[in-house]
Amino acid sequence: MQRARIPFLDLPRQYAGMREEIDAALARVISRGRFILGPEVEAFEGEFAAFCGKPYAIGLGSGTEALHLALWAAGVGQGDEVITVPNTAVATVAAIELAGARPVFVDIDPRSYNLDPSLLQAAITPRTKAIIPVHLYGQAADMEPTLGVAAKQGIKVIEDCAQAHGATYKGKPLPFGEVGMFSFYPTKNLGGYGDGGMVVTDKKDFAERVSWLREYGWTERYFSQYRGTNSRLDEIQAAVLRVKLQRLRQWNERRRSLAGLYDRLLSKTPVTIPMRMEYGEPVYHLYVLRSPARGKLKNFLKEKGVDTLIHYPYPIHLMPAYADLAYGEGSFPQAEAHAREVLSLPLYAEMGEKEVEQVAELIVEFFQTLGKSETKIKGAARR
């Protein structure tokens, strides 16, 4: 029997489950005739701030711009250094450079795949102005030791929560510290129908600065008290995101449940399943396994109709665009091994258990049919 193809993500299926509400939200915006920074953005900022347990949220043009503006508002600029990890979306590093600063990398903890706080101190110099921990795949980075190191030296921490809407650390939703940013890129756990981003913060003055920067530094219309840029969330995105936000907790719960099913079904295969850190609750933006046989497994799944992706195939310090940062191969062994072995499986709230079972059965089949010489790889994957 021909098995149905399993896409990596199925946004049309998500839309089908809420078509009327989305269509009504779009019609509301279009009929009102206000498209940039209007009532939908304002309402969504309030609703999303409450979701994060923070008093302030500022809607922006994208996650990259949210990070850039957060750095800018934090006073990061030319000659400064900003610490982050090499296994993030290029966007994190692009934003650091947009702010005029130099990215400095720290290797990852091989259990969480997030910044290893024990390596932070060694990367700090007198120029270090900020640290950007990335809550990769929807699991929190270890924030308390990170904030501890930063606070002692007056360094700002801006959390990259682009993949972690609703994830918690020590019982609190992210961002755990004073400032974090989100992306509403369409594939995120909370995604719009175009680009969008947000800065979320405890600090009123910081929120105010970001809101000025997003519109030419205006403190009142057509009056630039500061230099700024154009990075505004639009009304259509905000209206769509408001509809989706109402479902986000339920979607995240469903992702956790399906991830648990993957965990159980894959536990007898040689792959390394994602480790759930005891300090928080992840939201499984991605379900990422590790295997030295990743390439062959990916091809096998593709032949059988299962789409997978790699997040991310190249650590940033080894890409040509960042060669002038002068990190060579071997600079960050954990991040480099991670990039060689990770594979993201389909996971979304609309997926059925049967589909997860189908993917897992194929992975079991793949390892069963691997030749004798490949058995060695299985042993290596368990380490």
88 touching ligand PLP, by CB under 6 A:
yes
Q: Do 67 and 95 meet the contact criterion of CB atoms below 8 Å apart?
A: yes
Q: Do 161 and 135 meet the contact criterion of CB atoms below 8 Å apart?
A: yes
Q: Do 52 and 100 meet the contact criterion of CB atoms below 8 Å apart?
A: no
What does the DSSP 8-state code read for residue 84?
A: E
Point out which span in 44-52, 83-91, 215-223, 241-249 binds ligand PLP (CB under 6 A). Answer: 83-91
Please report where in the chains the tokens 């509301």 appear, as a residue. 28
Query: From the list 41, 130, 162, 301, which residue makes contact with ligand PLP (rule: CB under 6 A)?
Result: 162
Nearer to ligand PLP, 192 or 270 (CB): 192
**Residue 304: what residue type?**
K
Query: d(Cα 192, Cα 248) in Å, to the nearest integer?
Result: 13
Nearer to ligand PLP, 210 or 297 (CB): 210
In the chain, what is the straight-line distance between the N-terminal and C-terminal CA atoms, in Å?
A: 37
Query: From the list 62, 139, 211, 269, which residue makes contact with ligand PLP (rule: CB under 6 A)?
Result: 62
197 touching ligand PLP, by CB under 6 A:
yes
Nearer to ligand PLP, 64 or 272 (CB): 64
Q: In the numeric block, which tokens belong to residue 228?
A: 């700024």
Q: φ and ψ at 82, to 5 degrees?
A: -130, 125
284 touching ligand PLP, by CB under 6 A:
no
Assign residue 166 a region (left: φ > 0; alpha: ψ between -120 and 50; beta: otherwise).
left
58 touching ligand PLP, by CB under 6 A:
no
Nearer to ligand PLP, 69 or 266 (CB): 69
57 touching ligand PLP, by CB under 6 A:
no
183 touching ligand PLP, by CB under 6 A:
yes
Query: d(Cα 137, Cα 269) in Å, to the nearest integer?
Result: 22
Query: d(Cα 326, Cα 324) in Å, to the nearest integer?
Result: 5
Nearer to ligand PLP, 63 or 282 (CB): 63
91 touching ligand PLP, by CB under 6 A:
yes
Nearer to ligand PLP, 84 or 211 (CB): 84
Nearer to ligand PLP, 133 or 292 (CB): 133
Nearest to 138 by CA among 51, 250, 255: 255
Report the nearest approach of ligand PLP to the CB of residue 182 (Å).
8
Query: From the list 59, 63, 133, 166, which residue makes contact with ligand PLP (rule: CB under 6 A)?
Result: 63
Query: From the list 160, 234, 281, 355, which residue makes contact with ligand PLP (rule: CB under 6 A)?
Result: 160
Q: HSE-up of 192 (CA within 13 Å, CB side)?
A: 29
64 touching ligand PLP, by CB under 6 A:
yes
Residues that bind ligand PLP (CB under 6 A): 62-64, 88-89, 91-92, 134, 160, 162-163, 183, 185, 195, 197
